[in-house]
Chains A and B, each alone.
Chain A
């Protein structure tokens, strides 16, 4: 990548994450067996797997980066590391500004809390003060179109309402960097358009977005550049159109 004078909102260097397969939740005696040396080195190797490895890229502030890849290519792991939800095994990443994450459809809501309390909780997770959160609350509610359900626990929400509130919260709280993982795929076409318009607005305000999606149309209309992940490593970095073409020909059809 070329060196620019613009500050990078996100920079990732040689990032890797290894998971233990099968043993992570295992019973104690499995672990004890391992500790006592009953397990050979080869066996231990077979039980770990690199979800991502040697991943490096940079995102200039105000850019939208698409992260493309098949299921299991490491996209979600990458997003989780940037959101500080899970820790990397090697390498490092740097984020400049507050990071707001929408990881998969679950988001960071607590099912027993009301919509209103979840807005508060999400804001606090971002490090916002109560007054600051209340100042954007009306915008959030209006965008999400949840109306009178605001004071009902979110476990009673339909998946559509849940998604609308989740997106609205992320898109109005004071995050400087937004991580959006697959979440838009669930909404109806009208809401998807609304979300895309809001993302453009945010980018216009100088926010940086990392966008994981399987929708070529959404990627094409939103993203400035893209990286293609395959089996945990980056296969392509560059222009969105080229990346989509590479993804179609090299990854999907191979």
Chain B
């Protein structure tokens, strides 16, 4: 394999056969390597797929992309009434709408990556069965498209923050915190999308799984409800750190401690690496089972 030969050959005819790209096709090893070079080589495809994901979603809808704003805001109103006003869930000294919306913005990104990413390989069966490029681009492009929803969510949150006159405490922390939830969700959706090709049980399990994941994340309640001695366990879920940290960064709630950072970061790395390995392991069979 001479992957480097590809860009050099642009536009060239095959007459100079010796210098062209040579591809060796062999039975896959049981655990193929990461082959990140291949991933990088085809990177342009990812953006085309991500753009398609966004275009398709709001086509044939009345209000179009406004859904990305309407959804979090209406959820915020409902949850504020039931959890904030009626159930009086503690909100770390900030107004419940701010508390909830700051968690929801992160959660909606995770939820989109989980739901759409995990079904993405099966949903693209026509492409999988006809052409070759790294299949990891299906879940990855969903994750990239989720950043657009995140942006809309951040706009809604900014409006609510301004309404309550709350100033962010640390904008610099936001990108790494969001990256942790993003990468963890991508890791999970890589494994699930691969398993889903053979066992469609995953599609059936997804709504349940998404709900469960939301309940073990501090979206509607603060992590301080979890007893102190076992709280580090709670942060095995990287989304927990992401939300707690994000809430701290935008609204000044107590910051997650070093142990939480450590546990969540390790857990994210684990989810991502295992997710990609599982994906690579099953990738050669995709065309045969979707």
Contact = CB atoms under 8 A, between A and B. Distances in A.
**Mutual binders A and B:** yes
Interface of A: 7, 9, 19, 24-25, 27-28, 61-62, 80-99, 101, 103-104, 106-113, 117, 120-122, 124-125, 127-130, 132, 174, 176-177, 205-208
Given A110-B127, A111-B126, A7 B25 contact: no
Nearest to B56: A112
A200 B88 CA distance: 76
Given A95-B22, A97-B21, A117-B48, A87 B28 contact: yes
A57 B8 CA distance: 29
B133 A9 contact: no
B215 interface: no
B129 A88 contact: no
Nearest to B130: A108
B10 A24 contact: no
Contact of A101 (B42, B130, B198, B284): B130
Interface string B1-29: 00000110111011101101111111110
Contact of B127 (A7, A61, A89, A108): A108
Nearest to A25: B289
Nearest to B126: A106
19 contacts: A27-B199, A80-B129, A82-B25, A86-B288, A87-B285, A91-B27, A94-B25, A96-B20, A97-B17, A98-B20, A103-B131, A104-B130, A108-B131, A112-B56, A117-B51, A117-B52, A120-B48, A128-B10, A207-B14
Q: Is the interface of A mostly helix, strand, loop or mixed?
A: loop
Nearest to B131: A108
Contact of B14 (A107, A113, A120, A176): A176
Interface of B: 6-7, 9-11, 13-15, 17-18, 20-28, 41-42, 44-45, 48-49, 51-52, 55-56, 124, 126-133, 198-201, 284-285, 287-289
B10 A206 contact: no
Nearest to B132: A84
A87 B42 contact: no
B192 to A, nearest CB: 14
A104 B199 CA distance: 26
Contacts of B41: 127
Contacts of B56: 112
Contacts of B28: 87
Contacts of B44: 124, 129-130
B130 A132 contact: no
